[in-house]
Amino acid sequence: EEQLVESGGGLVQPGGSLRLSCVAYGFTFRNYDMHWVRQPPGKGLEWVSAIDTGGATYYGDSVKGRFTISRENARNSLYLQMNSLRAGDTALYYCIRGGDGFDPWGQGTLVTVSS
Amino acid sequence: QSVLTQPPSASGAPGQRVTVSCSGSTSNIGKNYVYWYQQLPGTAPKLLMYKNNQRPSGVPDRFSGSKSGTSASLAISGLRSEDEADYYCAVWDDSLSGRWVFGGGTKVTVL
């Protein structure tokens, strides 16, 4: 079964850092672009970042310069390093495989930025 | 404020047809494929439609997608109680350095 499992979320103070991880199962990870999408509590979806199979990276305007996406194909893993966190970054962060649409989605990992 | 505009809500009785619109611009819907996602309460979103009107395996043919110019629509025919969910459109936007954008989401209620 194709599956994505995120981890690394938690409570962090404003200005702090956090590193999210995502492990892929059931498909050839290195062959796919990968994405992070977030959803603040009770709100809609926001695309955060992407990394393609060649390692090129893309970021949404709200996180550019603060977040860094990376991948480690040998470990079937995707990462999101988040620095200078703000209250507005509070959200459920989903790891997603790219391709013909975002599919599948992980279950999400919750990041809460609060003092 | 989202780059893609969706109505916040839509509703219909069981068996009826409901449509959800998604309005964009020439830098996104006007030149790229539209995707639709269904988010049931308390769950992660799921791909519902890709490349404007293609259904992934397992998605009932009650769901259909279309695109015209800078707008797209998702139609649900034969509405069922299990269709009650949030629906989001998404598309690649070529403006600036490029980015994926989502609509604000439409809550579909089965009356």
How high does pLDDT run on average in chain A? 97
Q: Which residues of chain A have a CB within 8 Å of the CB of B89?
A: none
| Residue of A58, A101, A107 lying closest to B44 (CB–CB) | A107
Per-residue pLDDT band at B97 (split at 50, 70, 90): confident
Are the C-beta atoms of B66 and A6 separated by less than 8 Å?
no
Average pLDDT of span A20-41: 97
Is residue B20 within 8 A of residue B105, CB to CB? The reply is no
Task: Indicate which of B88, B100, B102 best probes the interface with A, i.e. most A CBs within 10 Å of its own CB.
Answer: B100
Does the CB of A38 have a partner CB in chain B at under 8 Å? no
Cα separation, B18 vs B96, whole angstroms: 34
- Percentage, residues of chain B above pLDDT 70: 100
| Three-state DSSP state, A73 | helix
Contact with chain B for residue A45, Cβ under 8 A: yes
Reported as a single tens digit per residue, the pLDDT across A88-102 is 999 999 999 999 999
Q: Which of A53, A115, A60, A58 is nearest to A86 (CA)?
A: A115
pLDDT of residue B87: 98
A99: Cα within 13 Å, side-chain hemisphere: 13
Cα distances (Å, whole numbers) of residue A91 to A98, B3, B47, B79, B82? 21, 20, 20, 31, 26
Mean per-residue pLDDT for B69-96?
Answer: 96
Which of residues 78 through 107 in chain A touch B, CB cutoff 8 A? Answer: 94, 100-107
Contact indicator for A80, A67 with CB cutoff of 8 Å: yes
Position B63 scores a pLDDT of 98
CB within 8 Å: B98 and A58:
yes
pLDDT of residue B96 exceeding 80: no
- Split at pLDDT 50, 70, 90, the class of B95 is confident
CB-closest option in A44, A46, A105 to B44: A105
pLDDT of residue A61: 92
Q: Which residues of B touch A101 (CB under 8 A)?
A: 35, 47, 49-51, 56
Strand arrangement of the beta sheet that strand B63-68 belongs to: B18-23, B71-76, B63-68
Residues B9-25 as b/e (b if ≥16 CB within 10 A, e otherwise) read ebebeeeeebbbbbbbb
For residue range A55-72, list pLDDT tens digits in order: 999 999 999 999 999 999
Cα-based distances in Å from B84 to A53, B40, B88: 36, 7, 13
